[in-house]
Structure 1
């Protein structure tokens, strides 16, 4: 998702984690966002791992 003010949200909705890799992938995405944000050239990036749609809605409503 892209917002009008150079903010970006990488969203992953994960209903089940059969492989047990969701948290590992989330950590990698958070590190990626931090690295991109550190450059200061590509806007502000965040990552959200939601276990269901209501978590995504709650996050978006908090912005």
Structure 2
């Protein structure tokens, strides 16, 4: 009977650590997604800012 309780304890610990691993993996994916989205926002806003400056300069040079 003691072996059965040891197996149950080991199984419970293993299941707990597997669950913790899944939660940690999900947290990493969410974190990487947030970092990727912020990276894209920063890069596109810089490109739009550079394009706006170029367009404004072109508009200013055209004219009298």
TM-score category (smaller protein): 0.3 to 0.5
> Comparing both structures, which one devotes a greater share of its residues to helix?
2
> Comparing both structures, which one devotes a greater share of its residues to strand?
1
- Mark the structure with the bigger radius of gyration: 2
Question: How does the TM-score come out when normalised to structure 2?
Answer: 0.33
Q: Which has the higher contact order (CA 8 A, sep 6+)?
A: 1
